[in-house]
Homo-oligomer: A and B are copies of this chain.
Amino acid sequence: MIKARVIVTLKNGVLDPQGKAIEGALGGLGFSSIGSVRQGKVFDVELDTADRAQAEAALEGMCERLLANTVIEDYSIAIT
């Protein structure tokens, strides 16, 4: 079994309303050092295979086809 972590973040320049709202809320809570916040997603995936290369290819495919919306998001894959 292979475990991997996929991180999906918004591309630069794409508006992040959630991040913006969180920024505001943190400021309101008194965290004065807060600069900016961008929110993304993380997927912890377990794969039933021992073949690392195969796992990598599968994860790449999952990102392209489902996990990330490549129109507005980037992704990165780390096998752990």
Whether B39 contacts A42 by the Cβ 8 Å rule is yes
1/0 per position for A42-80, CB-CB distance to B under 8 A?
111111110000110010011001110000000000000
Whether B33 contacts A49 by the Cβ 8 Å rule is yes
Whether B41 contacts A40 by the Cβ 8 Å rule is yes
Provided the pairs A41-B42, A66-B22 are in contact, do residues A1 and B35 lie with their beta carbons within 8 angstroms? yes
Whether A45 contacts B41 by the Cβ 8 Å rule is no
A residues within 8 Å of B by Cβ?
Answer: 1, 7, 9, 19, 22, 25-26, 29, 31, 33-49, 54-55, 58, 61-62, 65-67
Apart from A37-B43, A39-B44, A40-B41: 9 A-B pairs, beta carbons within 8 A: A29-B65, A29-B66, A31-B61, A33-B49, A33-B54, A34-B62, A35-B45, A37-B45, A40-B43
